[in-house]
Amino acid sequence: MRMESVQSPVIPIVAEWISAHPGTISLGQGVVHYPPPAEALEALARFGSDPMRHRYGHVAGHPELLAAIATKLQRENHIATGQGTPSRIVVTAGGNMAFINALLAITDPGDEVIIQTPYYFNHEMAVTMANVKPVLVPTRPDYQLDPAAIERAITPRTRAVVTISPNNPTGAVYPESDLRAVNELCGDRNIHHIHDEAYEYFTFGGRAHFSPGSIQSAGRHTISLYSLSKAYGFASWRIGYMVIPEHLLMAVKKVQDTILICPPLICQFAALGALEVGAAYARRYLAELDQVRRMVYRELERLGSLVDAPRVDGAFYVLARIRTGMDAMALTERLIREHRVAVIPGSTFGVHEGCSIRIAYGALRADAVTEGIGRLVDGLGRLA
């Protein structure tokens, strides 16, 4: 059966291990520690007064939210949408749904989609579920893109190249030059460039975020994915959105209408409140996250040659290579059982050579991260 070839999601497995060992500090799941802005919650009070809001909504999203997103895209990402442009917006139930919408709209069974390794595991799972072949292209040792390798991987069956920046699981921020190169390659080969920007506000050290959808003429082959989950502490609300070429709009609507009918309208109202605050809400937490990020690297350096953790400047992840004969799942289980600290094994991100672990530092306040990293460094020193 097709689903037998799809990897099992590792986060529930790690969650069971955590539940079995009370007191474990989790450096696993990628969420932020802060709640949604007050304006998002206040917007809910305006929702229930109109009986029409309890019926089905527009399949592509509530008009007010679509307008707010269009303004945000123009102002922050320099992407024009709507009449007179080749691009359209669709609100989705989170960034993962935006990806599956795109995938089902542009592929047939047996087609190929290029994804970078280490990959975001839900992307690889979605490609496999769609009976499409994931073509894995390794990134460089510092987790940056290798455009030449991407070009070599393109075949007549290729339908898209997927990139994520800032990246999950590595935290790498791709430079504008590399994203332009990949986008131009996709345009020249008449394939789509799917670019995930869920972590667009989480960059450090002066690194700039770049949206390839802003490139002139890119709108006809670029699919840009966004999420409110990280920036606005919105993970459980499941609201994201996608910018797609106009020629894909009907196909995406078919997918979304079949799976969802419409994104939950009450969550869309909360999203409207969040967008009223805008990027400033996430950015008020960046200095604290950057301090934690620097502390994580300092502590890992104590382990010397045992750990190789390339410096990255985005998201809130470190994907560290551990020099040990133990495999990543076994190491993860023992860190939880013996040292009460949880990480995610690198094997779930497609890293099968050696042993790697993803450390997520966004879900906890600085003091809890410090304690967790202390346990992790102690555990690695003893186990590896």
pLDDT, tens digit, 9 for 90 and up, residues 295-320: 999 999 999 999 999 999 999 999 99
Q: What is the mean pLDDT of the chain?
A: 95
Each as own residue / partner, the long-range contacts of residues 9-15 (CB below 8 Å, 24 or more positions apart, any chain) are 9/121, 9/122, 9/125, 9/348, 10/121, 10/344, 10/345, 10/348, 11/344, 14/332, 14/336, 14/342, 14/344
The predicted-structure confidence for 207-255, as pLDDT tens digits, reads as follows 999 999 999 999 999 999 999 999 999 999 999 999 999 999 999 999 9
The segment(s) of the chain belonging to CATH 3.40.640.10 are: 38-278
- Which fold, 38-278? Aspartate Aminotransferase; domain 2 (3.40.640)
* Whole-prediction pTM: 0.96
Give tens-digit pLDDT for 96-114.
999 999 999 999 999 999 9
Residues of the chain with CATH 3.90.1150.10: 2-34+285-383
Query: What is the sign, positive or negative, of the torsion defined by CA atoms of 200, 201, 203, 208?
Result: positive
pLDDT for residue 383: 87
Task: Find how far residue 211's CA is from the centre of its chain.
Answer: 14
- At residue 8 the predicted structure's pLDDT band, cuts being 50, 70 and 90, is confident
Q: Looking at the domain covering 2-34+285-383, what would its CATH class be?
A: alpha beta
pLDDT at 88 > cutoff 80: yes
pLDDT in tens, 339-354: 999 999 999 999 999 9
